[in-house]
Amino acid sequence: MKRNILAPSILAADFTKLGEQMKETEKNGAEYLHFDVMDGIFVPSISFGMPVLKSIHKVTDQVMDVHLMITEPVRYIQEFADAGADLITIHYETCEDVGKTIKKIKDCGKKAGISIKPGTAVSVLEPYLNSVDMVLVMSVEPGFGGQKFIDTSLEKIKELRELMEGRDIHADIQVDGGIYLSNVEQVLDAGANIIVAGSAVFGGDAGENTRKFMEILKEHE
Ligand code: DX5
Ligand code: ZN
């Protein structure tokens, strides 16, 4: 049985207190820190990049979980690896050559994740399941925090978990977007084990919110 892990998304953090807020999540049991990179092309918004990662990864022992929402991410894998990423997730929809992009992440000595948008079928992942450490099922359209969870994502998570079990593949399943204390159990029950939460962690007391999430995550192991 896989451990359940919380990955707070700093997109929703107060950047004037980022270091402090990260520490609060780490102290209360969040093992990962989710770092959303947006380029204004693959998704409408622009967030942050290498210099920020380079600075923050030094002040925490959390796993730097880098979610690249950028066009042709293969161009930037080396730079994010050098900046402190531990796990790099690319989108199926935005790579000219998905296999080559995953290989590039591995060649940099990092864990690799592959992600699909809400409108992309789970079946497209089949050729890559053996070569990734994690699959990220987006439960909102990538691009912004604070959106509503798309309920049909639960079916996709189940389908993916069954597909992987049938092939004896043990990659992690991460889910990202619209997850709160009120619906996280459904996401875990569907088969996910890495939970991304932005607004639900940083909207309010980040330490306290992390503690509450961790209680549920531990109960469900
Ligand atoms: C959206 C990002 C998410 C976002 C989640 O494109 O990938 O990681 O920060 O935010 P919430 O938890 O607020 O939906
Ligand atoms: Zn994300």
User: Of these residues, 36, 39, 65, 172, which one is catalytic?
Assistant: 36
Question: What percent of the chain shows pLDDT beyond 70?
Answer: 100
Say how far apart CA 141 and CA 119 lie, in whole Å.
9
Q: Which stretches within the chain are classed as H helix?
A: 18-27, 50-56, 77-83, 98-107, 153-166, 184-190, 199-202, 206-219
pLDDT at position 2: 87
Q: Would you call 82 a catalytic residue per the annotation?
A: no
User: Across all residues in the chain, what is the average pLDDT?
Assistant: 98
pLDDT in tens, 151-184: 999 999 999 999 999 999 999 999 999 999 999 9
Nearest CA to ligand 1 atom 10: 145
Q: Would you call 36 a catalytic residue per the annotation?
A: yes
User: Of these residues, 39, 65, 133, 176, which one is catalytic?
Assistant: 176
CA torsion sign, 45 to 49 to 53 to 56? negative
List the domains of the chain with CATH numbers.
Answer: 5-219 (3.20.20.70)
User: Counting atoms of ligand 1 from 1, which one is nearest the CA of 203?
Assistant: 13
pTM of the model: 0.98
Average pLDDT over residues 118-139: 98
Say how far apart CA 208 and CA 27 lie, in whole Å.
10
Pocket test for ligand 1, best of 176, 179, 182, 201 (most atoms within 8 A of CB): 176
pLDDT in tens, 25-40: 999 999 999 999 999 9
Asked if residue 1 has pLDDT above 80, the reply is no
The amino acid at residue 35 is F
pLDDT category at 59 given cuts 50, 70, 90 is: very high
**Cβ pair 37, 67 in contact under 8 A:** yes
